[in-house]
Structure 1
Amino acid sequence: MILKILNIVRVFLIVSAIPVFLVTLNTRLVINSPSLYENGFEKYQIERVTGIEYDQLLLASKQIRDYFNDDTSSDLFVKVTKHGHMLDNLFNKREVAHMRDVKNLVRGVYFIQWISLSIILLGIISGCFIVRRDKFGSIVRSIGWGGKLTLSLTLVVGVMSFVGFQKLFLYFHLFSFSNDLWILDPTRDYLLMMFPESFFFDATIYIALGTVIESAILGVMPRILRIFWKV
Structure 2
Amino acid sequence: MNSTLLKLISSLVFIILIVAIPILIVATTVQVYSHSEALYTAGFEKYNISQRTSISDIQLRQVAKQMVDYFSGKGQTPQLTVNKHGEPLPLYNEKELIHMEDVRNIVQLFTILQIVSILIFIGMAILIYVMNGLEKLLMGIQIGAIVTGVLTGVLIIWSLIDFNSLFLLFHYISFTNNLWVLDPAKDYLIMMFPEGFFNDAAILIVSSILIEAAIIWVAAYLIKMVSIRKASAD
Relative to structure 1, the CA distance from residue 108 to residue 71 in structure 2 (aligned partners, 3 Å threshold; closer, same or farther) is farther
* 1:81 match: secondary structure: strand
What is the CA–CA distance in structure 2 between the aligned matches of 1:40 and 1:65, rounded to whole Å? 14
Secondary structure at the aligned position of 1:80 is classed as strand
Residue 156 of structure 1 pairs with residue 154 of structure 2: yes
Partner of 1:204: 202
Report the equivalent of 2:80.
Answer: 78
Q: Distance in 2 between matches of 1:108 and 1:204?
A: 18
Q: Classify the secondary structure of the residue corresponding to 2:184.
A: coil
Cα distance in 2 for residues equivalent to 1:219 and 1:56: 42
Q: Who is 2:14 aligned against?
A: 11
AA paired with 1:95? E
Identity %: 36
Secondary structure class of the residue paired with 1:183: coil
Alignment CA distance shift 1:227-1:11 (3 Å) = same
Deviation (angstroms), 1:22? 0.5
Pair 1:143-2:141 in alignment: yes
Distance in 2, Cα, partners of 1:58 & 1:86: 17
Q: Which residue of 2 aligns with 1:23?
A: 26
Instruction: Give the stretch that moved more between structures: 33-42 or 94-103.
Output: 33-42
Contact 1:64 1:78 in 2 (8 A): no
Aligned counterparts of 2:220 and 2:98: Cα–Cα separation in 1:
47
Secondary structure of 1:52's partner?
coil
CA RMSD in angstroms comes to 1.7
| Among 174, 191, 204, the residue aligned to 2:189 | 191
Alignment of 1:214-225 (within 5 A): 214-225=212-223
The amino acid of 2:117's aligned partner reads S
CA distance in 1, matches of 2:223, 2:157: 31
Say if 2:127 is the partner of 1:126: yes
- Asked if residue 91 in structure 1 is aligned to residue 92 in structure 2, the reply is yes
**Deviation readout 1:124-156 (Å, 9 max, x if unpaired):** 12224333xxx1111111111100110111111
CA positional deviation for 1:83: 4.6
Is there any run of 5+ residues in structure 2 with no aligned partner, and where?
Answer: 230-234
Distance 1:65 1:79 in 2: 16
Q: Secondary structure of the residue that 1:229 maps to in structure 2? A: helix
Q: Does 1:104 align with 2:71?
A: no
In structure 2, what is the equivalent of residue 57 of structure 1?
60
Offset at residue 85 of structure 1 (A): 4.1
Amino acid at match of 1:226: K
Distance across 2 between alignment mates of 1:62 and 1:80: 14
Could you tell me which runs of 5 or more consecutive residues in structure 1 were left unpaired when the two chains were aligned: none
* Partner SS for 1:230: helix
> Could you tell me how far 1:203 is from its partner in structure 2?
0.8
Question: What is the one-letter code of the residue matched to 1:186?
Answer: P
Q: Which TM-score applies when normalising by structure 1?
A: 0.92
Task: Identify if the C-alpha distance between structure 1 residues 181 and 36 changes in structure 2 by more than 3 Å, giving closer, same or farther.
Answer: same
Question: Does 2:50 match 1:47?
Answer: yes
The 2-side partners of 1:85 and 1:126 are apart by 62
Q: Quick one: distance in 1 between partners of 2:108 and 2:60? A: 23
SS at match of 1:76: coil
Q: Distance in 1 between matches of 2:111 and 2:98?
A: 20
